[in-house]
Structure 1
Amino acid sequence: MQGVKRKLVFVTSFELIAVAFNTLILTVLGHDTQVSTGLAIASSTVAMLWNYCWNSLFEYWEARRVDRTRTLWRRVLHAVGFEIGLLGMLVPLFAYFLHVALLEALALNVGLMLFFLVYTFVFNLTFDKIFGLPLSAQPVEAN
């Protein structure tokens, strides 16, 4: 599976699982379940848009590398880049929904980011095992 279809399956499955985790984590931390669910859905919407954009940018960059192998380092770079970009977008959203200061929202997001950093890495690895690598990560055939 390649192209837009691959990206849509990736983003949708990633975010459905992420909403469940996010709601559970926020509820366990003592936030109202309805607020946690609403925030999980809102942050998922932001994350889905960012995920599509980030993966497109990353694959554009990746396809232009001489070595297109998805090494451990490249997978870590992918996960960290995604999470840092998302962090910048979600801190104000969390502060607003949870009625907390930006610093508290940042601390909460950093904790969630650490969890989702591992989740992102494992999800990407599993997704590639199930659906195969995208064209951007496949070796260039010699003519």
Structure 2
Amino acid sequence: MRTTKDRIRHTLGFEIIGLIILAPLASLVFGYELQTMGVIAIAASTIATVWNYFYNLLFDHAMLKLHGEVHKTMLIRVFHALIFEGGLLLLFMPMIAWYLGISLWEAFIMDIAMACFYVVYAFVYNLAYDKVYPIPQT
């Protein structure tokens, strides 16, 4: 299983790279100023950072209990990313609606678009991270 130091490096890297990509992309796609989308992205990143740490810790413990190891197949990686983003969707939608002064439906559409970005990003990031920093043998 990963160490606390490794989990922190993983989480911070994920959030920093995600912010660098998401804020300008969301500004372009949704038509809001970069500063506005940056505030949303930073708030979301803060919540996601905490969620990321605990979610991955709990997921790895569940993998150990169910499978006796933390090695993730491609199917498990897809499942992992979808559940992670589903949890964030429920947390972010009201925040987006409030900050932008838009309806929950509009916030839902925006949140789904950002979640789709992060599903793909999380899959690629975690795959790359495991190649660069292999999981130690348990």
Cα RMSD (Å)? 1.6
| TM-fit CA distance, 1:31 | 0.6
Amino acid at match of 2:41: A
Amino acid at match of 1:131: Y
Q: Which residue of 2 aligns with 1:22?
A: 22
- Gaps in structure 1 of 5+ consecutive residues: none
Q: Which residue of 1 aligns with 2:34?
A: 33
Larger Rg, first or second structure (1 or 2)? 1
Aligned mates of 1:95, 1:18 — CA distance in 2? 21
Q: Which residue of 2 aligns with 1:76?
A: 78
Aligned mates of 1:57, 1:77 — CA distance in 2? 14
Q: How does 1:1-143 map to 2 (within 5 A)?
A: 2-28=2-28, 29-66=30-67, 68=69, 69-133=71-135, 135=136, 138=137
Q: What is the TM-score with the length of structure 2 in the denominator? A: 0.92
| TM-fit CA distance, 1:11 | 0.6
Amino acid at match of 1:14: F
Secondary structure of the equivalent of 1:132? coil
Aligned mates of 1:97, 1:35 — CA distance in 2? 9
Aligned mates of 1:116, 1:5 — CA distance in 2? 23
Q: How many residues align?
A: 136
Amino acid at match of 1:8: I
Amino acid at match of 1:74: I
